[in-house]
Amino acid sequence: MEFRDLKAQYNKYKNEIKSATIGVFEDTNFISGPIVKKFEERLAGYVNVKHCITCANGTDALSLVLTAWGIGKGDAVFVPDFTFFATAEVVSYVGATPIFVDVDPKTFNINPVELEKKIKETISENKLTPKVIIPVDLFGLLADYSTIEKIANKFNLLILEDGAQGFGADYNGKKACSFGDAATTSFFPAKPLGCYGDGGAIFTNDDEFAKLLESLRVHGKGEDKYDNVRIGVNSRLDTIQAAILDVKLDALINHELQDINVIFRKYNEKLNTYVEVPFIPNGYTSSFAQYTIKLVDKEQRDNLKAFLQKNNIPSMIYYTKTMHNQTAFKELHNKDKDYPISTSLCNTVLSLPMHPYLEDEEIEYISSKIIEFLNS
């Protein structure tokens, strides 16, 4: 059994993927070129924004946006405490300071009440200038952007949507990566839309900002690659990955999003009286990068994980450590008592196998073993 079955997806779309990659080999345009440009236009159309700028990975996508906004030393950037390291890492990478915000106990996304509290605390301390909020679409569920946008407007802050796990999700028909002042996603293989390597993208409706990002991702180029008008980086999506992703985008649109939400409902029907299952608010559709349950405590969670492993069921813990407890951020001197929800989640969450190709028999087997463990 696979935790996220990329083999099943490949076998279903093997001919289309081979045809797409052979087309790149025959064209011999391996970096950028018309295939990448066409894919960017297709992504922008799907998300319903004006511009998509692809790059080498999701982390670069985040740091490129912060760089383009001029975020740096003395600036405060607000990020959820319960997320993958990259969300906070890029803040320190550009020289700014991450301010960690506790999350909602039901959605696991950044808590707007705690967010406003942290912004006011930062203003009151008068050591850093609040500049950006980076909400994360955790496990495939969009953050509460309607509330976050009100807070951002109140304090004149920019919003950078981290849609690395949320591509394909929506709120009342508005797609992930169309929220905030800019948005990013990741094409890491296990993501809802994943390539066969690394890749990322940035989304924006701002024409001039898009031009700046296109320059920054290729050594700060001007009119051509030997006219460098600023310091940039080398961060491009290679053409083979764009060709593969174009095929996978068809799969995502045609059936994968629908199929994975059917699987979500089947899991919930079997497990909701035994464990705390994922909560999807009204109007939201998740792309389910992960299906994450919550147990009573760390002992029960760890014992269940071991029991599942003995029964050949893979499971993962996202995440074992909060941002404020990362060694890289120890100089910020944050305390567990200020992040009770995030700290608790690290001790109680467990992610189960979840992908559009999960069979009914597998769902039944996984669920039955969880129930067997909890009843024992």
Q: Where are the beta strands (DSSP E) in the chain?
A: 51-55, 75-80, 97-101, 129-133, 158-162, 170-171, 174-175, 182-186, 200-204, 284-285, 291-294, 349-352
Q: Taking each helix axis from N to C terminus, what angle separates 58-68 and 85-93, rounded to the nearest 10 degrees?
A: 40
**DSSP code string of 223-245:** SSTT-B-S---B---BHHHHHHH
Residue 161 near residue 15, CB atoms below 8 Å: no
Per-residue confidence (pLDDT) for residue 371, from 0 to 100 = 98
**DSSP code string of 165-219:** TTTT-EETTEETT-SSSEEEEE--TTSSS--SS--EEEEES-HHHHHHHHHHTBT
pLDDT in tens, 118-175: 999 999 999 999 999 999 999 999 999 999 999 999 999 999 999 999 999 999 999 9
Cα–Cα distance between 38 and 46 in angstroms, integer? 12
Half-sphere exposure in the Cβ direction for 103 (13 Å, CA) = 26
What are the chain's domains? Answer: 6-101+110-247 (3.40.640.10), 255-375 (3.90.1150.10)
The whole-angstrom distance between residue 359's C-alpha and the CA centroid of its chain comes to: 25
Per-residue confidence (pLDDT) for residue 144, from 0 to 100 = 98
Half-sphere exposure in the Cβ direction for 221 (13 Å, CA) = 11
Distance of CA 10 to CAs 14, 194, 289, 310, Å?
A: 5, 11, 18, 28
Question: In terms of Cα–Cα distance, which of 137, 105, 117, 138 is closest to 341?
Answer: 105
Residue 369 near residue 313, CB atoms below 8 Å: yes
pLDDT in tens, 125-140: 999 999 999 999 999 9
pLDDT(225) > 90: no
Residue 236 near residue 37, CB atoms below 8 Å: no
Parallel, antiparallel, or unpaired for β 158-162 and 182-186? parallel
pLDDT in tens, 29-66: 899 889 999 999 999 999 999 999 999 999 999 999 99
**Residue where the block lists tokens 């050949």:** 312
Q: What are phi and psi of 135, to 5 degrees?
A: -75, 150
Q: Which residues pair with 200 in a beta bridge?
A: 55, 186
pLDDT band at 254 (very low <50, low <70, confident <90, very high): very high
Handedness of CA 122, 126, 132, 134 (dihedral sign): negative
Residues 176-199, mean pLDDT to the nearest whole number: 98
Mean pLDDT of the chain: 97
* Torsion angle of the four alpha carbons 119, 125, 128, 131, in this order, in degrees rounded to the nearest 10: 20
**Residue where the block lists tokens 């993501």:** 191
The per-type count for the chain, helices as H runs and strands as E runs, is: 13, 12
pLDDT in tens, 78-91: 999 999 999 999 99
Residue 370 near residue 308, CB atoms below 8 Å: yes
Single-letter amino acid code for the residue at 222 = G
Tokens coding 202 = 């940035």
Per-residue confidence (pLDDT) for residue 163, from 0 to 100 = 98
pLDDT(224) > 90: no
Handedness of CA 269, 272, 277, 281 (dihedral sign): positive
Percentage of the chain lying above the pLDDT 90 cut: 98
| Burial class, 190, CB count within 10 angstroms (exposed 0-12 / middle 13-18 / buried 19+) | middle
